[in-house]
Amino acid sequence: MLDPRLLRSFAAIADTGSFTQAAERLNMTQSTISQQLARLEEAVGLELIDRVARPVRPTASGERLLGYARRILALQQEAEAMLGDPAGTASVRIGVPEDIVTDAMAKVFASFARQHREIRLDVFAGLSRDLTKRYRAGELDITIVKEAAASSDHRATFPEAMAWFESLDAPATWPDPLPLVAFPPGGLYREAMFERIERERRRWYIAFSGSSLHNVLVGVEAGLGLSLLPIEAAAGRRVRPYAPFGKEPAMVISIYSWEQSGPIAELVENMSAVLAERFSTGAQL
């Protein structure tokens, strides 16, 4: 491997045509410049500078090496500049349900990233119970989760109005047993659905299971069955409230963070403001 220090001395001699001027450019003594050139020539086994010429100039082999030397030195300078830039060197890990990353929330992330270039935002989407486990295990710095009730260490919490929905094209009367559209096992809404159905003493079965809120909504729109959904999420979709069951007790959307000061606390405050604007008044059927 060619030593960049030796290449730098070689390029300086070639550019200036003088050992003396090259030494001045690099803040070295002339003897040091000469020694470094000699070491480079020994390494490649070729004479690189014609010392007899005035001004001195590269030999044919030196001319061939000079372009590579300049590129190597430019890459080294670029790498040093990159490593000296702290942009993206610190990570903030954020866990959110997929429907929480709205345009407004994305703008909060973008604004934060512009103000704190040293911080990289790693955002993970998933089911609330999985996110809670990861947060409690220290795998996430910030998390937003949907839950029946907020834990005492929440930073902010907001109600999420819930109701039963069916497709706009649903039959006037559903068959027995009732077909349900649900999240996979472990989903918060899924268990609330089952509890309500049991209280109603109705028979039921899972007709469709979707791993995301979007997939569940699509299943309901297609008429695959009934589902318990956030009222806010159902707005504008081809669904309508299922009158026999109606509204359910609200869930809550809570935000948690280990840090209570500094940039992360600032980010949590701005994320909470987005949630407040979206959920604090409660959606209406």
- Are the CB atoms for 34 and 19 separated by under 8 Å? yes
Domain residue spans of the chain: 4-84, 90-158+252-279, 161-249
**Cross-strand bridge partners of residue 199:** none
Residue 35: predicted pLDDT: 92
Over residues 35-61, the mean pLDDT reads 92
Percentage of the chain beyond pLDDT 90 is 67
Q: Domain 4-84 class?
A: mainly alpha
- Residue 270 above 90 pLDDT? yes
Confidence of residue 274 (pLDDT cuts 50, 70, 90): very high
The model carries a pTM of 0.68
- Do the first three CATH levels of 4-84 and 90-158+252-279 match, i.e. the same topology? no
CA dist., res. 12 & res. 32, Å (int): 13
CA dist., res. 100 & res. 278, Å (int): 10
| Beta-sheet pairing, 142-147 with 90-96 | parallel
Superfamily assignment of 90-158+252-279 in CATH?
Periplasmic binding protein-like II (3.40.190.10)
CA dist., res. 262 & res. 260, Å (int): 7
Which pLDDT tens digit goes with each residue over 196-233? 999 999 999 999 999 888 999 999 999 999 999 999 88
Give the torsion through C-alpha atoms of 274, 276, 278, 282, to 10 deg: 170
- Residue 282 above 60 pLDDT? no
Q: Other CB atoms closer than 10 Å to residue 277's CB: what's the count?
A: 11
Q: Domain 161-249 class?
A: alpha beta
Q: 148-180 in b/e burial notation, b at 16+ Cβ within 10 A?
A: eebeeebbbbbebbbbbbbbeebeeebeeebbb
Confidence of residue 246 (pLDDT cuts 50, 70, 90): confident
Which pLDDT tens digit goes with each residue over 124-164? 998 898 999 999 999 999 999 999 899 999 999 999 999 99
CA dist., res. 189 & res. 186, Å (int): 9
Percentage of the chain beyond pLDDT 70 is 96
